[in-house]
Amino acid sequence: MTWLYFALLAPLFWSLSNIVDKFAINHITSNCISFIFLLSIGNIFFAGAIYAYFQPTDLDLHIAVINICSGLAIFLQYFAYSYSLEDMDVSVVIPIHQSEPIFVLAASILIFHAIPTSWQVTGFAMIVVGILILCMSRQTIRGLGHPRHVVVLLVSAFFGAVSTVISDEILQLKSLESVLIFNFAGYALGGMLLLLVPKWRRLITNDLKTLNFKQFGIFGVTNIFDVGGYVFFMAALAAGGGAALVSVVVSIHPLFVLALGFLATKLFPKFIAEDIAPGGVVRKFLSIVIIVVGVAVISLQAM
């Protein structure tokens, strides 16, 4: 059962990263562009460290290019995530972000012509219902809060699914180390490409001039938490948990975020301001449970 402990540690580390992300985007950087730039470029150091330590010998230019595209998809996933995180509670962002299995299922249908089972369709419906409940608000006409951000987060989940499908295929041909190197490199490349847009380059440059060593350190911390979660996720797979079972356990990620967001708001209200009103917490919890069950139903059908 070692895989289970690793699988539980993965969402814990990712949740810690999400809470630090929320603080950083609201209190350190002045905009989401600077935030995602700082969030992404640190990955080049992780890519270099993996290469220096493991020195994989199965590097291939053609596969590397495809692998870098997978990393760019991860960048686009987090680009959309950061855009919505600036305005929404992290405990709302992450569950919608968790809808990635919907697009993995869609990709398997479109690319591999797989026929979904009735259980997979049920899981799909549950994720959609959970998202709708999560976003309900009396302040909007149709009861759907932040419709623009919901669409952006679904786009984020789509790019996450693209990266997952590509990486899953490449892992059948190449070692984990080489896949991680180019995934991280592609993610960092996405951040560097932001500098090609003059307006974004000015935003990034202005923020970099004002940040101090401690603030840069906070981005280092969130990168370590994020990479740590990914390492534990891979460790759970290596320990024999199986992709479907590990994915189901890791899907409780939003529950960790809800709990940590509630705790952070109570302890540090000046830095984190999640909606912790009883009605809001109950609604979030109900929607997260529905989404997690939907993810579990889709994932277990892949066994």
> Around Cβ 122, how many Cβ atoms within 10 Å?
16
How far apart (Å, rounded) are the C-alpha atoms in residues 131 and 284?
10
| The two structure tokens encoding residue 296 | 């579990």
How far apart (Å, rounded) are the C-alpha atoms in residues 160 and 94?
13
What is the SS3 assignment for 109? helix
Query: Residue 93: which of 140, 36, 20, 152 has the closest Cα?
Result: 152
Per the CB < 8 A criterion, the answer to whether 74 and 182 are in contact is no
pLDDT tens, residue order, the chain (303 aa)? 678 888 889 889 999 999 999 999 999 999 999 999 999 998 999 999 999 998 888 888 888 999 999 999 989 999 999 988 888 888 888 887 777 767 776 766 766 666 777 877 888 788 878 877 776 654 433 444 567 777 888 888 888 878 877 877 787 788 888 888 998 999 999 999 999 999 999 999 999 999 999 999 999 999 999 888 887 887 777 676 666 667 777 878 888 888 888 899 888 888 888 877 787 788 888 888 888 888 778 766 655
Per the CB < 8 A criterion, the answer to whether 130 and 189 are in contact is no
Per the CB < 8 A criterion, the answer to whether 288 and 130 are in contact is yes
